[in-house]
Amino acid sequence: MKIDSSLPLEYSTEENRLKIFGFWIFLGAEIMLFATLFTVYFVLANRTGNGPTGSEIFELTPVLFETFLLLTSSFTIGLGIHAMRLGNKKAMMTFFITTLVLGLGFLGIEIFEFITYVHEGATITTSAFLSALMTLLGTHGAHVTFGLFWGIAILIQVAKRGLNAQTTNKAFIFSLYWHFLDVVWIFIFSFVYLKGLIS
């Protein structure tokens, strides 16, 4: 395996560069996936049937907490990659663990939010608006959940095998995924919650 030492470790082999490139392309597909879910949400947003409207069920405080947690986790994973490039395995792992804990916190609030909705009689089967809302949020939440397991798998590998061309590559790709989920959340925050609260 040819290793190019002028590049960061995660870019150092041809295979690594292919994987990073391929993952970016995959993120393009993910953008379309969420764009479609947003399409469905926007088309159905005012079609509430006999169920509640957005402004009736959205609560700002938990959403702000979610946003803050996810933004911070995006920051810490960025720091994790920076530490990884410095070769500082311990700092990298600390930042990654922080990221996952913040992600877990986000997920906890989101689950709590869903339970509240259901208690208020707003379930996924109540109206087209709620179906679209919960599918959009659920898809994002499922991505975060998947990310938690993925992150743990990478942490185990880094702990066992250290920072090498393979583990750094995986960690870097994971960081792209995590930042992307943050971007999606920003759009949910802005165009689902804030927009829902003002209209």
Q: Which of residues 165-194 bind another protein (CB under 8 A)?
A: 166, 170, 175-176, 179-180, 182-183, 186-187, 189-191, 194
Determine which residue in the list 3, 111, 115, 197 makes contact with another protein, applying CB under 8 A.
Answer: 197
| Nearest distance, CB of residue 184 and another protein, angstroms | 9
In contact, 103 and 73? CB cutoff 8 Å: yes
Compare residues 104 and 194 and give the one whose CB is closer to another protein: 194
- CB-based contact 171:158 (threshold 8 Å): yes
- Residue 192 neighbours by CB under 8 Å, 6+ apart: 41, 54, 133, 136, 137
- Closest CB to another protein among 105 and 179? 179
Token pair, residue 40, equals: 């469905």
Site for another protein in 41-70 (CB under 8 A): 42-44, 47-51, 60, 64, 67-68
Report the C-alpha gap between 97 and 40 in whole angstroms: 35
Q: Which of residues 17-36 bind another protein (CB under 8 A)?
A: 17-22, 24-36
Q: How many residues bind another protein (CB under 8 A)?
A: 82
Q: Position 124: which residue type?
A: I
CB nearer to another protein: give 10 or 113: 10
Round to whole Å and give the CA distance between 55 and 197: 5
